[in-house]
């Protein structure tokens, strides 16, 4: 089965559950988790409405119309007011090439020309350059991932800015924080990848750690933008990527011949997937294609974390539903363990309260 290339969304999603080894190894190995999930009988529920898709594409086209004049105006206004305002008809180099490698090479070349080429030429230093859908390569766990930001802008001072165009609105200057967070994590991956490109130039240009998020303004389809500081997301993603290289260590621990091909019979496939431990939590449902499979396994195993990560906080070493309930009933557990003692007190208080209320409700039922 051909490996599925990692995209920025997948890389950014690493931050959602970095403790999950199953996700790390499947992603690292380029397994298509959506097909895997279907083959396991728990298809993923991620889909995109064509309305959203149409709207997103139309908005992006609008933002980039006229050689990106509006886009560059926003970059100038929100990030670099000190620079010369972009003149009409900024340089937009042609980035087309064959295959992702070719496009990545073409992008790197365009970036270099815009930054360090001879001054005064269009697209050379001292001018604004817009790279529309550039291609960036980032080494992830030993193999290249190809990433395609919406745009990268080269400022007259030679610094680079990542631009993310999203179709959720900015209403009175604020936007859905969860969506902005996701956009920031995605942009942070691009910043990391751009930094790798920059590092190969001498002198290395500055990759700005504030990205430009462009969204529709209020209820219109006019673009507006906000600078988003992605230093935190960059630091976290950088660290998680560095950890990903340890996938080989995880793979070494797997039994030989483990294969995740969706062609395999469901039973064999399940066994293969089970060979890599998962760390399921309900948050996975909105971030990982395999979540429903993992949830079912987690519930079967009676894991308390299937009810949410915070549930474990007060349970100490206990991790299964039966274990906790048995401890609460006084059938198991060391009474000197503060977690067990607290559980028993909680169980006693709860029973007492329900009994008191039960008496009350019956009365209420008799004379409503």
The footprint of other proteins on residues 9-48 (CB under 8 A) is: 15-19, 45, 47-48
Of 2 and 310, nearer to other proteins (C-beta) is 310
Of 253 and 354, nearer to other proteins (C-beta) is 354
Q: Do residues 194 and 206 touch, judged by C-beta distance below 8 A?
A: no
Taking alpha carbons only, the member of 46, 37, 30, 48 closest to residue 295 is 37
Find the binding residues for other proteins in span 279-318 (CB under 8 A). Answer: 279, 281-283, 285, 287, 292, 299, 302, 304, 306-317
Find the binding residues for other proteins in span 156-175 (CB under 8 A). Answer: 167-175
Taking the complex as a whole, the smallest distance from the CB of residue 49 to other proteins amounts, in Å, to: 3
Of 64 and 91, nearer to other proteins (C-beta) is 64
Find the binding residues for other proteins in span 339-368 (CB under 8 A). Answer: 339, 342-343, 345-350, 352-354, 356-358, 360-361, 364
Contact between 101 and other proteins per CB under 8 A? no
Taking the complex as a whole, the smallest distance from the CB of residue 112 to other proteins amounts, in Å, to: 30
Please select the residue that binds other proteins; options are 178, 204, 254, 266, rule is CB under 8 A. 178
Of 3 and 58, nearer to other proteins (C-beta) is 58
Of 16 and 258, nearer to other proteins (C-beta) is 16
Stretch in the footprint of other proteins (CB under 8 A) among 29-37, 95-103, 182-190, 265-273: 182-190
Taking the complex as a whole, the smallest distance from the CB of residue 320 to other proteins amounts, in Å, to: 10
Please select the residue that binds other proteins; options are 1, 3, 53, 266, rule is CB under 8 A. 53
Give, in order, the Cα–Cα distances in Å from 98 to each of 106, 110, 130, 194.
10, 15, 21, 21
Of 85 and 308, nearer to other proteins (C-beta) is 308
Find the binding residues for other proteins in span 218-247 (CB under 8 A). Answer: 218-222, 226, 228-229, 231-233, 235-236, 239-240, 243
What is the phi/psi pair of residue 21, to 5°? Answer: -75, -30
Please select the residue that binds other proteins; options are 6, 130, 154, 184, rule is CB under 8 A. 184
Sign of CA dihedral 61, 150, 227, 81: negative
Give, in order, the Cα–Cα distances in Å from 26 to each of 41, 50, 182.
17, 28, 21
Taking the complex as a whole, the smallest distance from the CB of residue 332 to other proteins amounts, in Å, to: 14
């Amino acid at each position: 089965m051909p490996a599925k290339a990692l995209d920025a969304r997948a890389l950014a999603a690493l931050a959602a559950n970095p403790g999950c080894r199953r996700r790390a190894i499947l992603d690292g190995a380029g397994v298509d988790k959506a097909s895997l999930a279907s083959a396991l009988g728990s298809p993923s529920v991620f889909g995109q409405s064509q309305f959203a898709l149409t709207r997103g594409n139309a908005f992006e086209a609008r933002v980039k119309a006229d050689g990106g004049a509006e886009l560059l105006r926003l970059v100038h206004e929100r990030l670099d007011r000190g620079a010369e305002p972009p003149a009409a008809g900024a340089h937009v180099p042609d980035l087309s090439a064959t295959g992702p490698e070719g496009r990545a090479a073409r992008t790197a070349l365009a970036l270099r020309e815009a930054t360090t080429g001879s001054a005064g030429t269009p697209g050379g230093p001292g001018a604004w350059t817009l790279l529309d859908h550039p291609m960036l390569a980032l080494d992830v766990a030993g193999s290249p991932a190809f990433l395609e930001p919406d745009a990268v802008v080269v400022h007259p001072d030679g610094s680079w800015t990542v631009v993310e165009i999203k179709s959720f609105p900015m209403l009175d200057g604020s936007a859905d924080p969860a969506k902005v967070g996701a956009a920031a994590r995605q942009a942070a991956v691009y910043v990391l990848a751009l930094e790798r490109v920059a590092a190969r130039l001498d002198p290395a240009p500055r990759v700005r750690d504030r990205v430009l998020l462009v969204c529709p303004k209020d209820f219109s389809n006019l673009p507006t933008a906000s600078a988003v500081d992605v230093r935190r997301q960059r630091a976290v993603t950088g660290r998680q990527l560095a950890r990903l290289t340890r996938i080989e260590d995880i793979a070494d621990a797997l039994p030989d011949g483990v294969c995740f091909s969706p062609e395999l019979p469901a039973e064999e496939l399940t066994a293969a997937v089970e060979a890599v431990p998962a760390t399921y939590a309900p948050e996975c449902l909105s971030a990982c294609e395999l979540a429903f499979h993992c949830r079912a396994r987690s519930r079967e195993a009676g894991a308390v974390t299937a009810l949410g990560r915070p549930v474990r906080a007060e349970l100490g070493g206990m991790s299964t539903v039966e274990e906790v309930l048995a401890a609460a009933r006084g059938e198991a557990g060391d009474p000197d363990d503060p977690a067990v003692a607290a559980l028993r007190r909680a169980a006693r208080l709860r029973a007492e309260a329900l009994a008191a209320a039960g008496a009350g409700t019956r009365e209420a039922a008799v004379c409503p």
